[in-house]
Amino acid sequence: MKKIKLYALSTCGWCKKTRAFLDDHYVKYEYEYVDLLTGAERDRVMSEVKRWNPRLSFPTIVVDDTEVVVGFNEDRLREVLGL
C-alpha cells in the first residue's frame, strides 16, 4: 500500500476535486488543510510542502516520499497510484 499525503487548502476547488478523486478510488491518504493551521505547526507543514513543491501551490500530493503531483492532474494521479 502506498503512503499518500495531500497538502490542501480548505477553500480550494482543485483540492476538493483531488480529495473526491482519491475517495472515489478508495485510496487511503492523509491530508492537511494548510490554511487552517497556525503558528509553528503551519510553519512546519509549509516547510514540508516547499520541499516537494517550491512554488507552494495546492494541491500538492506526495506519494511514498518519492513522487509528487502538483495540482489536480487525474492522469498523473492514476499513473503514480497504479489506478
If the chain, 83 residues long, is cut into consecutive pieces of 10 residues, what is the mean pLDDT of each piece? 94 97 96 96 95 96 96 95 91
Q: Where are the domains of the chain?
A: 4-81
User: Are 4 and 62 within 8 A, CB to CB?
Assistant: yes
Give the per-residue pLDDT at 63.
96
Instruction: Name the grid cell of 75.
Output: 492522469
Give the per-residue pLDDT at 1.
82
User: Are 72 and 14 within 8 A, CB to CB?
Assistant: yes
State the burial class of residue 67 (Cβ atoms within 10 Å of its Cβ: 0-12, 13-18, 19+).
middle
CA distance 49 to 66: 13
CATH 3.40.50.2300 is the classification of domain 4-81:
no
